[in-house]
Amino acid sequence: MTRRDRATLWLVAFFVAAAMTVELYWLRHAFTLPNQSGWLAREFRFYGIGDRGYYDQVGWFEVGLESFHLCFTVPAYLWLAWTVVNRRVYRWLLQLCLGSYVAYSVVLYLTAKHVTSYASMPSHDVGSFLVLVLPNLPWLLGNLWLALDAARVIQRAVRAAEPAA
């Protein structure tokens, strides 16, 4: 297995583990988070500094986004891991699509916050912006890497298949 394959599997493992712990907890307690205790509840209380929509002002947009992620994106990540381990050639197309989609969804989420003038952010200071952006960076950067890595492999394969001029 190549370093690229191992890196892909580590990213997928991280994303799936986060989804099955943190995101599933959030979805289960989305409308009662302020009443919860424990370390995950404290983490979401802290994240509320950057986006109260994930703490005490939860709306159906956030619930829909996380539900979609858990029901569709997590199985797609698991499918990607299977294609890497089993060396399926369509792995690169799946990786390109999945990495692009998730990176785009993070950009869309952050753009929506900006367009609404950070309406769910209680205080507009540097710390609050960091609390909003930093936890999302692993998903943005990791999935950008997945997409760009797959695009490079696909591009090389297409160039190699082109007839010589």
Average model confidence (pLDDT) for the chain? 95
Lowest-pLDDT choice from 10-14, 81-85, 116-120? 116-120
State the Cα–Cα distance between residues 134 and 149, nearest whole angstrom: 23
**Over 70: is that where the pLDDT of 165 sits?**
no
State the Cα–Cα distance between residues 108 and 89, nearest whole angstrom: 30
Reported as a pLDDT band with limits 50, 70 and 90, residue 55 is: very high
Phi/psi for 90 (5° steps) reads: -75, 0
Reported as a pLDDT band with limits 50, 70 and 90, residue 61 is: confident
State the Cα–Cα distance between residues 109 and 64, nearest whole angstrom: 12
Q: Helix (H, G, I), strand (E, B), or coil: what is residue 56?
A: coil
Q: Are 80 and 91 in contact, with CB atoms under 8 Å apart?
A: yes
State the Cα–Cα distance between residues 36 and 53, nearest whole angstrom: 16
Length of the chain counted residue by residue: 165
State the Cα–Cα distance between residues 59 and 65, nearest whole angstrom: 10
Question: What is the identity of the amino acid at 57?
Answer: Q
Write down the pLDDT at residue 163.
Answer: 82
Place of tokens 């986004």: 65
pTM (predicted TM-score): 0.92
Percent of the chain with pLDDT over 90: 94
Instruction: Calculate mean pLDDT across residues 27-55.
Output: 95
State the Cα–Cα distance between residues 136 and 110, nearest whole angstrom: 9
Six-digit token pair at 156? 């090389």
Phi/psi for 57 (5° steps) reads: -130, 45
